[in-house]
Amino acid sequence: MARVLLVDDDTELCALQAEYLRAEGFEVEAVYDGEQGAGLALEGGFDIVVLDVMMPRTNGIEALRRIRARSRIPVIMLTARGDDIDRVLGLELGADDYVPKPCTPRELVARIRAILRRAQGTPGPRETQVLGVGALCVRPEQRRAEWQGRLLELTSTEFNLLEVLARCAGNPVSKNELSEKALGRPLARYDRSIDVHVSNLRAKLGDLPDGRSPIQTVRGIGYQYIVS
């Protein structure tokens, strides 16, 4: 049974979400400020954190910053609908996905399950292989990736994206396919999530000897991991 940490100062909404999640088979603990939420997330014992952006004391962005400094636990941000600045900032800091508020409990459950399925799913036969593309080595069964022999510190979503791109190395992959396989949802109109996650991946990978990023933009389509 997956354990979910809800961090939101809206106690009424939090209670509603917690009740729905429990009915769907999750264990849930709810706290109402970012400082306490970050502390509990870092203590371990949870499989995923649902973190609201707007909170007193320590807001969701600062809480996420503290969590990502020490943990790769999956994090879904709750953001005000249309608040692109907080949304992009959260993704840049390492959030795995976001859900615009107000959202239905059903949508939140679907997002949680999609992230957990990809972070903790049982590997199948095709996933036991080691994917080697130039200086990149991806080990799907262990959910580990190395670049030039160096272990990469990736979020769950970043790993998913990198695995998809590595499996398709040399061929372009559409943003919608990346969203479906890494986030478990179709890419919404004006959604910049994939672009931000790819930007984070590029920063962590660094450049090839010729100065290019190993992840190239394919205009009008998406992205391609190049075979060097």
Residues 6+ apart with CB under 8 A from 225: 133, 136, 162, 165, 166, 168, 169, 170, 214, 215, 216
Same domain, 116 and 141: no
Percent of the chain residues topping a pLDDT of 90 = 80
Enumerate the β-bridge partners of residue 76: 50, 97
SS3 assignment, position 188 = coil
Reported as a single tens digit per residue, the pLDDT across 164-213 is: 999 999 999 999 999 999 999 999 888 899 999 999 999 999 999 899 99
Among 100, 120, 140, the domain boundary falls at 120
Q: Quick one: how far is CA 94 from the chain centroid?
A: 7
Looking at the structure of the chain, the number of domains it has is 2
**Are 132 and 113 contacting, i.e. CB atoms less than 8 angstroms apart?**
no
pLDDT in tens, 46-105: 999 999 999 988 999 999 999 999 999 999 999 986 678 889 999 999 999 999 988 889
Out of 86, 102, 120, a domain closes at 120
* Whole-number pLDDT of residue 188: 86
CATH number at residue 211: 1.10.10.10
Residue 118: its pLDDT value, please? Answer: 86
* Domain, as residue range, for 168: 125-225
CATH code, domain carrying 101: 3.40.50.2300
Contact at 8 Å (CB) between 205 and 216? no
